[in-house]
Amino acid sequence: MSEPKVFLATSEFLPNLDQDEQDLPDALRDRGIEPVIAVWNDPSVDWSAADLVVVRSVRDYARYPKEFNDWAKSIPRIANSAPTMEWNMDKHYMQDFEKLGLPIVPTTWLEPEDKLTKQQIHSRFPSHGDFVIKPAVSSGGRGTGRYTATDAKSRSDAILHAQYELEAGRSVMVQRYLEDIEISGETSLIYLNGLSAYSVQKEPMLHPRYRNPRDSGVMEEIARSAEASEESWRWGERIRLGLHQHIKNKTGRDELLLFNRVDIVRGAPDSPEEFYIMEISLIDGSLYLSANPEHLNRFADAIQMRAFL
């Protein structure tokens, strides 16, 4: 029996995968798998030769959403599935979680078709505290900025930021900055083939004057391997079940997700919620493989299980 070929899809900006995933090909070879690193929109790649395509360092998918979706739909065996990635690409998916009764970060949505004036944008910002502006479709934190509601200059910059995204036809998210992130950080729970695998703790990234323009590099994350509390895993399980329920409702069948990263933050003592969902990553979000050798081994094992099916 020949070795199964697993194509690791990446972008032209990361032709050898993201640094966090550099050891993944060797880990797959150790498991009897032939890894092939290929740029997703390279027309010379014969994707039909793959026994499985694993989407990883496709950091540019948000620049070419239609092309990326068309490409993903053309691949017979791709993880995660094309419909699931298409849904996860646009952060309006957070509204689906809200409908399921799951707590998301308080968000105001600004839509290009509403043709909002500068004053109308201004009126939708919080009246106190810090807040974050980001496009609904982005990867690696591009287009994200943190602003202060009570600072006139910061508020003016936020208006310009929102206008820039809206004029480009992109939906904009205005989210309250959860101060508890400064205290306890953000927890990422990683699920592989539907099972809880490991977790990391991430340090706060959005300092008060943080800006990451749309065309700048990927946001740098500082994460360390850390066992999440039983409470965090309980929250994560609620989210995981909600995610699978949504997929089943939408497609008529459940999906065994190869990878699923759930980002949560604990609610403040005076918050109405125990926790908030920050993000669900089913496309290119980091799995923090280099934070602990066991993370790499578990992901390689998960791919091995799917490649030999």
- Statement to judge: residues 210 and 293 lie in one domain: yes
- Statement to judge: residues 201 and 157 lie in one domain: no
Task: Provide the number of structural domains found in the chain.
Answer: 3
Q: Residue 138: pLDDT above 80?
A: yes
Q: Residue 180: pLDDT above 50?
A: yes
Euclidean distance between the first and the last CA atom of the chain, given in angstroms as a whole number: 13
Q: What is the DSSP string of 154-166?
A: HHHHHHHHHHHHH
Which residues make beta-bridge pairs with 133?
145, 174
Portion of the chain with pLDDT greater than 90, in percent: 74
Say if strands 211-212 and 223-225 run parallel, antiparallel, or are unpaired: unpaired
- Statement to judge: residues 226 and 268 lie in one domain: yes
- Statement to judge: residues 131 and 185 lie in one domain: no
Q: What is the mean pLDDT of residues 193-198?
A: 96
Cα separation values, 149 from 119, 152, 153, 253, 269, Å: 14, 8, 10, 44, 22
Identify the band that residue 220 occupies on the pLDDT scale cut at 50, 70 and 90: low
| More confident of the two residues 131 and 179 | 131
3-state secondary structure of 15: coil
* pLDDT value of residue 210: 45
Among residues 242, 215, 196, which one has the least CA distance to residue 99?
242
- Statement to judge: residues 60 and 120 lie in one domain: no
The reply to whether 114 falls in a domain is yes
DSSP conformational letter for 61: G
Say if strands 186-192 and 195-202 run parallel, antiparallel, or are unpaired: antiparallel
The reply to whether 133 falls in a domain is yes
3-state secondary structure of 230: helix
- Statement to judge: residues 25 and 75 lie in one domain: yes
* pLDDT value of residue 272: 80
Q: Mean of the per-residue pLDDT values for the chain?
A: 90
* pLDDT value of residue 183: 67
Domain span at 150: 107-176
* pLDDT value of residue 221: 62
CB-based contact 238:232 (threshold 8 Å): no
* pLDDT value of residue 207: 47
CB-based contact 63:169 (threshold 8 Å): no
* Separation of alpha carbons 106 and 100, rounded Å: 15
The reply to whether 146 falls in a domain is yes
Among 53-62, 208-217, 296-305, where is mean pLDDT lowest? 208-217
Tell me which of 117, 141, 176 is where a domain ends: 176
CB-based contact 121:110 (threshold 8 Å): yes
* pLDDT value of residue 28: 98
- Statement to judge: residues 133 and 50 lie in one domain: no
The reply to whether 98 falls in a domain is no
* pLDDT value of residue 289: 96
Among 136-140, 233-237, 255-259, 305-309, where is mean pLDDT lowest? 136-140
* pLDDT value of residue 94: 94
